[in-house]
Every structure is written in C-alpha cells, then in structure tokens.
Amino acid sequence: MATVLPIANHTFTEERNPEVERLCFLQYEGYHLKHPNAYRQLVNEPAAVCDRCGRTARNRTNLCDPTHLG
Ligand SMILES: [Zn+2]
C-alpha cells in the first residue's frame, strides 16, 4: 500500500510574502497581474539591478543576482 507523505500545505499560489520573494518567481506566479499595485511598490524607485535577468527592484532581496544601482 502506497503511502503519500503529507506535504504541509505547500501551495505556490497564495500567501506569498513579496518582500522576500524574487521578482522572477513572483512574475512566474503572475503576482504582478494579481496584485499590480503591490508589485509596483516592489519595483518603484529601484535601488538594485539583477545581473542575471536584468530586473530592477527597490529591495535587493527581490533579485536573484542583485547589484547596486547607480
Ligand atoms: Zn534575476
């Protein structure tokens, strides 16, 4: 009899904390479409740019390979 291990409520769609998630991931999930105003807050007045994907963000923790802007 197969046993399915309970994976504790591991959802990839809701209840994200955008402050600690990378923009690549948020965009992949469509966060910018579901929460456009919140997403704008993350990219407004960017302080860092990602060397890997070229995205910019106000908080460097939102980037996968952040470099200080300016
Ligand atoms: Zn990136």
What is the CA(65)–ligand 1 centre distance, in A?
Answer: 6
pLDDT tens digit string along 4-46? 655 554 455 556 688 888 998 898 889 999 999 999 999 999 9
Q: What is the pTM of this model?
A: 0.68
What is the CA(6)–ligand 1 centre distance, in A?
Answer: 32
Query: pLDDT class for 63, splitting at 50, 70, 90?
Result: very high
pLDDT of residue 41: 94
Query: pLDDT class for 47, splitting at 50, 70, 90?
Result: very high
What is the CA(51)–ligand 1 centre distance, in A?
Answer: 7
Q: Mention every residue, 6+ apart, whose C-beta is less than 8 A from residue 29.
A: 12, 13, 16
